[in-house]
C-alpha cells in the first residue's frame, strides 16, 4: 500500500511537471551585429532559455564572419584565399579555395543561365568603375561626372562568365582573362544567409528570423505560431518614406533591392548601383523590387535580375518561376505585383 501511494505521488508529480513545462511560453530575444557584409544584421528568435538563443547567435556570428571573409572582394585576410585573391590572380594562376567559394560560384553560374545573363558575377571590371565613381562623389557631388562609356565598353570585354575555370577535384578557381574580376555582391549576402539558415534548420532550430542587411530569411513562424510580418518601405534617396505593404513570412526569404541605398548624383540625377549588363548603365524604371521565395540566395539574385528588365519582362519572368512572388515600386510610386503576391500580404 505504501509503495502504491508513493507511485501515485510520483505520477501526480510528473503530471504537474509536464503541465508546467507545456504551459511555459517561449521568450523573444534579439541580437544585432554591425560588422559583416558591410551592413547591419539583426537576429530575432524565440526560445525557452536565453542561453539557447545566445548559443545559436554565437553559431550565426561565426558563420557570418567566415562567409564575409571568403566572399570579400575588397579585403585580404591572413591565411584565407577569398574572392579578392582569385581576382588578384586573374590570368596568372589557379587559386586553391574553400569549398564554400566553389559552391557559391557554381550557384552563381546556374543563376546566370536562369536569369538570361541579367545576374552576372563576371561583371567585376564594369562594376568596379561605377564603384570608384560612386565613392569619389558620394559625399560631394560637385563636379560629378559619369564614367566614360568607352571605359565601360572596354571593361565589358572582360565579363565572359565562361572564363571562370573551376577545378572541383583540386578545389581551385582560375580566371582565364587577366583583366577579368568577380563581383558577387548581387548574390553573396543572400546565399550566405540561406546557408546559415539551412544549417540552423538541420540543428532543429525554429522560430527565428535572420535579417542580414535587409536580406530576410525566416525559420518557421514566430514563437506563438503566427507568421512573421515585414514591411516594404516606399523610400526615396533622402531615406524618408513610409511603409506601403506588409507581408506574412513563415519559413520564406524576402529580399528588396532599391535605388536609394548606394548611388551618387550627376546633374541632379541619382545613379544607383544596379547596373544593366546590356546597357552598362543603371535603369530608372523602379524605386525597389522585392522578391519572396524559399531561398534567400535566389531572392537576392532575382531582385537584381528583375531590376534589369522592363516591368512586363519582369512580371513574365517571375510568374514563370514556381514559388516566387515579387512586388515592384515604380519610379512614379505605382505598385505592381506578381500573380500570387496578394496571398502573402498581411491583413489585420
Written out in words, the top-level CATH class of the domain with range 83-175 is: mainly alpha
Reading the chain (348 residues) residue by residue, the pLDDT tens digits are 433 333 443 443 444 344 444 457 999 999 998 789 888 899 999 999 999 999 999 999 999 999 999 999 999 999 999 999 999 999 999 999 999 999 999 999 999 999 999 999 999 999 999 999 999 987 888 889 999 999 999 999 999 999 999 999 999 999 999 999 999 999 999 999 999 999 999 999 999 999 999 899 999 999 999 999 998 866 544 344 555 799 999 999 999 998 877 888 998 899 999 999 999 999 999 999 999 999 999 999 999 999 999 999 999 999 999 999 999 999 998 999 999 999 999 987
Nearest-10 crossing angle of helices 99-114, 188-202: 120
Alpha helices in 206-320 (DSSP H): 296-307, 311-319
Domain regions of the chain by residue span:
24-71+186-344, 83-175
| Closest-CA residue to 186 (of 48, 50, 83) | 83
CA dist., res. 263 & res. 270, Å (int): 6
Could you tell me the CATH superfamily of domain 24-71+186-344? ApbE-like domains (3.10.520.10)
Q: What is the pTM of this model?
A: 0.89
Question: For residues 276 and 262, what is the distance between their CA atoms, to the nearest angstrom?
Answer: 15
Rounded CA-CA distance 158/163 in Å is 9
Instruction: List, in order, residues 6 or more apart from 246 with CB less than 8 Å away.
Output: 229, 230, 231, 232, 345, 346
Amino acid at each position: 500500500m505504501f509503495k502504491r501511494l508513493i507511485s501515485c505521488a510520483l505520477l501526480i508529480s510528473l503530471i504537474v511537471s509536464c503541465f508546467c513545462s507545456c504551459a511555459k511560453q517561449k521568450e523573444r530575444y534579439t541580437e544585432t551585429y554591425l560588422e559583416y557584409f558591410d551592413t547591419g544584421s539583426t537576429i530575432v528568435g524565440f526560445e525557452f532559455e536565453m542561453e539557447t538563443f545566445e548559443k545559436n547567435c554565437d553559431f550565426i556570428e561565426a558563420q557570418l564572419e567566415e562567409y564575409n571573409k571568403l566572399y570579400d572582394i575588397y579585403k585580404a585576410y591572413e591565411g584565407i584565399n577569398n574572392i579578392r585573391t582569385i581576382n588578384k590572380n586573374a590570368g596568372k594562376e589557379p587559386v586553391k579555395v574553400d569549398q564554400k567559394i566553389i559552391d557559391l560560384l557554381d550557384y552563381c553560374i546556374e543563376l546566370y543561365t536562369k536569369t538570361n545573363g541579367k545576374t552576372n558575377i563576371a561583371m567585376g571590371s564594369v562594376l568596379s568603375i561605377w564603384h570608384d565613381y560612386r565613392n569619389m562623389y558620394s559625399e560631394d557631388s560637385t563636379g560629378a561626372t559619369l564614367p566614360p562609356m568607352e571605359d565601360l565598353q572596354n571593361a565589358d570585354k572582360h565579363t565572359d562568365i565562361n572564363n571562370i575555370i573551376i577545378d572541383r577535384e583540386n578545389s581551385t578557381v582560375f580566371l582565364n582573362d587577366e583583366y577579368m574580376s568577380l563581383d558577387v555582391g548581387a548574390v553573396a549576402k543572400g546565399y550566405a544567409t540561406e546557408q546559415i539558415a539551412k544549417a540552423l534548420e538541420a540543428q532543429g532550430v525554429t522560430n527565428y528570423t535572420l535579417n542580414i542587411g535587409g536580406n530576410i530569411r525566416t525559420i518557421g513562424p514566430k514563437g506563438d505560431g503566427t507568421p512573421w510580418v515585414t514591411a516594404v518601405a516606399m523610400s526615396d534617396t533622402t531615406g524618408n518614406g513610409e511603409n506601403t505593404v506588409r507581408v506574412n513570412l513563415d519559413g520564406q526569404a524576402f529580399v528588396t533591392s532599391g535605388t536609394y541605398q548606394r548611388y551618387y548624383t550627376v546633374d541632379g540625377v541619382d545613379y544607383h548601383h544596379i547596373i544593366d549588363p546590356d546597357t552598362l548603365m543603371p535603369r530608372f524604371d523602379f524605386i525597389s523590387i522585392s522578391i519572396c521565395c524559399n531561398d534567400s540566395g535566389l531572392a537576392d539574385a532575382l531582385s537584381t535580375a528583375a531590376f534589369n528588365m522592363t516591368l512586363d519582362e519582369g512580371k513574365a519572368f517571375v510568374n514563370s518561376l514556381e514559388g516566387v512572388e515579387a512586388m515592384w515600386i515604380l519610379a512614379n510610386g505605382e505598385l505592381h505585383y506578381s500573380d500570387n503576391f496578394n496571398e502573402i500580404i498581411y491583413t489585420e
